[in-house]
Amino acid sequence: MKITVAIPIYNAARHLNVTLDSLINQTMDSREFEVICVNDVSTDNSIDVVKTYMEKVNNIKLINRKENSGGPMLPRNDAINEAKGEYILFLDNDDFIGEEALEKFYTSAKECKSDVIFGKYVGANGRGVPQSMFKYGNLKNADILKHNLVFSLAPHKMFKVDFIKQNNFYFDKKAVVGEDQLFVMQCLVKANVITVLSDYEYYYVVKRGDENLSLKYFPANNFFYSFNHIMETIEESGLSSLYKLKLKAAFLNRFLHASRLRGHIFSNLLTYEQKKDWLNETKKFIDNHVTDELIGLLPSRFHYFLLIARENDLRKLLMVHNQMETVNPNKVTRVENGWIYSNFKYTQKYLAYDEEYTVNHLNTSDIYIDGIILGEDLCEITGQFYQSLLINMNVENELILVHRKTGIEKRINYNEANSSNQFKFTFNYREFVLNKEMVGPWDVFIEGSIGGYVKRRRLGKARKTDLLENVSEDNKGIMPKLSQSNKEKFLPKKEIMLDNINSFGENYIVKAYFTKKHDNLSFDVKLKP
């Protein structure tokens, strides 16, 4: 048997036919895979639906649990124990898969010797699904960090059964929240080969109106059970120390962003006493797993939360959280080691503090082109680069030309504009027309930096509407260094060709243009025939 498909079922009669139809229509021969439906004491006619399909095909098996388990964990474990397949795929009772999914999964798994394999997710009925790990194309052996696998901890994947059983990886019955994340993280950390397929729409994740578990209340200690064990799994693994640290940071970033923790503490879902209980458990989690070094690897929007939660001071946390909405340039105290710091003050009889917290996440930016002049030898680009929290800071702006194919960068660091919020760069095309290896598109960015903090923006989309007009008599001489053999040229609506640019004895043609998809400025370098 090649594959076991495991489906925990609870009151799914309305949706189950779509799930099972996607299985009986697989291109894989039905004799090569089995479907194990584990009924978790449904109170509707889910069993009848399954039995109807069992009359049509002979590869569907039904397991009826005697007691409801309260979640999909134990039914999935039942399927693992009963699995006859070399691999097991977990499928929810209201999702479905593409017709070629099983065949493609198995072929790739055998070819790559995969322990874990999963394919492109597709959201159905308005469901959002992770996509960043699929932008790399098919990956025979993906890396958890490099390929963003930490953002795909749902169990809708295929696992080698021997790999699961030899490592005793089962869904923890004590985990009422995040049980799938714990199981999948254990597998990802231990797996020798993780395969990701992006060439086909494999798994359709369906949104249902009653699936939002975030509306249910769980005691804080139950909530943290899985996440404590995930951090322990990473720490106790055989991974290198630096990889462990970065993996913890990646998971913690996901956890703080996507979990209900901050939502519970900052919303009206809980009473004040319940919030104190949640903050107390949060402090325990931080004390056990989150170091200052780890906090430094996280986005600034989580810094104040973790630092104050470690103090276990709910009143202060709520107050600082509200004050985050009032941060402005006048409250920025310094920019150091890549962090923008703002001062937070409050003085009352029973709560007082005067401290700094990082606020990088509150710094917004905008970029605008006032003018682009193309001459025979030189190009001039002028505009504005605004950063909301740094208007009182001496930000240094650079123009960055990036070779699209190699990623090589050419920096133009002399800004002729007087203000840090403005820029004026003049450069010779031979700054980036170097040799035959550097032909192809060069994309244009403006980068502002101060105290190790760097903000980079793509240049071109936001620009002056009359930028496309020809240069007037009043504007002649704006670039005295330009060759006068030809008139200065403003960039036209689509593109302009610059001919006979010489570099190291070779002649090149440069085409300045706005990219079709995103309408940004680029230069395309070609060797002149």
Full DSSP string of 383-441: EEEEETT-TTS-PEEEEEEEETTT--EEEE-----SSTTEEEEEEEGGGT--SGGG-EE
Q: Which residues, other chains included, contact 355 with Cβ-Cβ below 8 Å and sequence gap of 6+?
A: 343, 344
- The two three-digit tokens of residue 173, written as one number: 């019955």
Give the total number of structural domains in the chain. Answer: 3
Angle of CA points 310, 314, 318, to nearest 5°: 110
Residues 265 and 125 both lie in one domain: no
* HSE toward the beta carbon, residue 142, CA cutoff 13 A: 28
Using the CB atoms, write b or e for 281-303: b if 16+ within 10 Å: bbbebbeebbeeebbeebebbbb
Classify burial at 65, counting beta carbons within 10 Å of its beta carbon; exposed 0-12, middle 13-18, buried 19 or more.
middle
Which among 423, 417, 418, 425 is positioned nearest to 448, based on CA atoms?
A: 423
Residue where a domain terminates, one of 314, 332, 359: 359
Residues 273 and 183 both lie in one domain: no
- Say which DSSP state 260 is in: S
Task: Output the tens digit of pLDDT for each of the chain's 529 residues.
Answer: 999 999 999 999 999 999 999 999 999 999 999 999 999 999 999 999 999 999 999 999 999 999 999 889 999 999 999 999 999 999 999 999 999 999 999 999 999 999 999 999 999 888 888 899 999 999 999 999 999 999 999 999 999 999 999 999 999 988 888 999 999 999 999 999 999 999 999 999 997 754 444 445 678 888 999 999 999 999 999 999 999 999 999 999 999 998 889 988 998 889 999 999 999 999 999 999 999 999 999 999 999 999 999 999 999 999 999 999 999 999 999 999 999 999 999 999 999 999 999 999 999 999 999 888 888 888 999 999 999 999 999 999 999 999 999 999 999 999 999 788 899 999 999 999 988 899 999 999 999 999 999 999 999 889 886 553 333 333 344 444 444 443 344 444 567 777 778 888 889 999 988 898 888 999 999 998 8
Residues 226 and 334 both lie in one domain: yes
The amino acid occupying position 404 is R
- The two three-digit tokens of residue 297, written as one number: 């690897």
Residues 158 and 257 both lie in one domain: no
CA dihedral 461, 462, 464, 469 (to 10 degrees): 0
Which among 522, 214, 218, 211 is positioned nearest to 372, based on CA atoms?
A: 522
Domain residues for 128?
Answer: 3-206
Determine the pLDDT at residue 374.
86
Determine the pLDDT at residue 494.
64
Residues 354 and 369 both lie in one domain: no
Strand partners, 195: 117
pTM reported for the whole predicted model: 0.89
Q: Are 117 and 195 in contact (CB under 8 A)?
A: yes
Q: Which residue has the tokens 């006979």?
A: 500
Determine the pLDDT at residue 317.
98
Which among 4, 10, 11 is positioned nearest to 34, based on CA atoms?
A: 4
Hey, CA dihedral for 91, 95, 100, 101, is it positive or negative? negative
d(CA 327, CA 139): 43
Residues 350 and 375 both lie in one domain: no
| Range list of H helices, 290-366 | 292-295, 303-311, 314-323
Residues 385 and 515 both lie in one domain: yes
List own/partner pairs for 122-128 with CB under 8 A and 24 or more apart. Answer: 122/201, 122/202, 122/203, 122/204, 122/205, 123/204, 123/205, 123/207, 124/95, 124/96, 124/204, 124/205, 124/206, 124/207, 125/206, 125/207, 125/208, 126/207, 127/205, 127/206, 127/207
Determine the pLDDT at residue 434.
85
d(CA 526, CA 42): 67
Determine the pLDDT at residue 493.
52
Residue where a domain terminates, one of 326, 342, 359: 359
Residues 175 and 194 both lie in one domain: yes
Determine the pLDDT at residue 419.
80
Residue where a domain terminates, one of 359, 378, 408: 359
Determine the pLDDT at residue 130.
87
Determine the pLDDT at residue 523.
94
**Strand 194-206 relative to strand 116-124, pairing:** parallel
Residues 124 and 20 both lie in one domain: yes
Residues 310 and 390 both lie in one domain: no
Residues 344 and 381 both lie in one domain: no
Q: Residue 74's domain is classified under what CATH number?
A: 3.90.550.10
Residues 222 and 172 both lie in one domain: no
Which among 89, 86, 77 is positioned nearest to 2, based on CA atoms?
A: 86
